[in-house]
Amino acid sequence: MGDFTIQISAELVNLLTDDGKKKTKKPKTKISREYQRTQRKASQKQISDDSETHKGTAAAGWPIQPPFFLPPVQSSNAELDAIRLVLQESERVVEKLRKQEEHMVQEVTERAKNLRDKEFKLPNQKPMPCMAENDAWQACYKEHAKEPLKCQHLVQNFANCARRVRQLVNSDDK
């Protein structure tokens, strides 16, 4: 005896469970009559196609498998090709983003270095005016700690130098 399959539609289940009893009316969803007709025709066509397919295979003695178990060869190749294309495009985008990231990291590093250099760079320092005179009176005081009046002329030279510098700065500001 050959194997066979039976497909049971929802419509058939409804007919069998009715047993001629009237049910309370359910509120109808607004589905067009045309849509309902096309659905019924499609399910009837599926049932008739399946029964024709199974008759031929059962007579030949082959095991019967529902058609949904057979992998669609053409569509899977198309799907694989589409997936490959998407993967290739994704790889290109990832590579582009990686290069963009490297460029941005390099730019940020360079800007950070420039800011650090500007922040911690000492301004151009001008030599302190009257440095020689200052050093001279300090050395004299160290040498003559007990006789500081010997260094009086050096202290006077430093004071005169400081006065001249102050006058120059004040005249430049005006």
CA–CA dist 166, 15 (Å, integer): 114
Same structural domain, 62 and 103? no
Tell me which DSSP letter residue 5 carries.
-
User: Alpha-carbon distance 126 to 117, whole Å?
Assistant: 20
Question: Into how many domains does the chain fold?
Answer: 3
User: Cα(155)–Cα(127) distance, rounded to whole angstroms?
Assistant: 20
Residue 99 falls inside a structural domain: yes
What is the pTM assigned to this prediction? 0.31
Residue pair 133/158 in contact (Cβ under 8 Å)? The answer is yes
Give mean pLDDT, residues 13-41.
61
Instruction: Over range 15-27, report the average pLDDT.
Output: 58
Q: Which domain holds residue 14?
A: 10-69
Sign of CA dihedral 157, 163, 165, 167: negative
Kindly state whether residues 75 and 58 are assigned to the same domain. no
Same domain, 78 and 65: no
Asked, for residue 126, whether it belongs to a domain, the answer is no
pLDDT over threshold 50, residue 44: yes
140 shares a domain with 117:
no
Work out whether the CA dihedral 170, 164, 161, 156 comes out positive or negative: negative
Pull the structure tokens for residue 100: 């963009």
**Domain shared by 76 and 60, yes or no:** no
Let me know whether 15 and 59 are in one domain: yes
Residue 3 domain flag: no
Q: Is residue 21 situated within a structural domain?
A: yes
Say if residue 56's pLDDT is above 50: no
Q: Are residues 79 and 64 in the same domain?
A: no
Report yes or no on 1 lying in a domain. Answer: no
Mean pLDDT, range 136-144, rounded to an integer: 93
Instruction: Give me the mean pLDDT over the 10-15 stretch.
Output: 72
3-state helix, strand, coil in the chain (%, to 5): 75, 0, 25
Residues 75 and 87 in one domain: yes
Same domain, 30 and 45: yes
* 63 lies in the same domain as 75: no
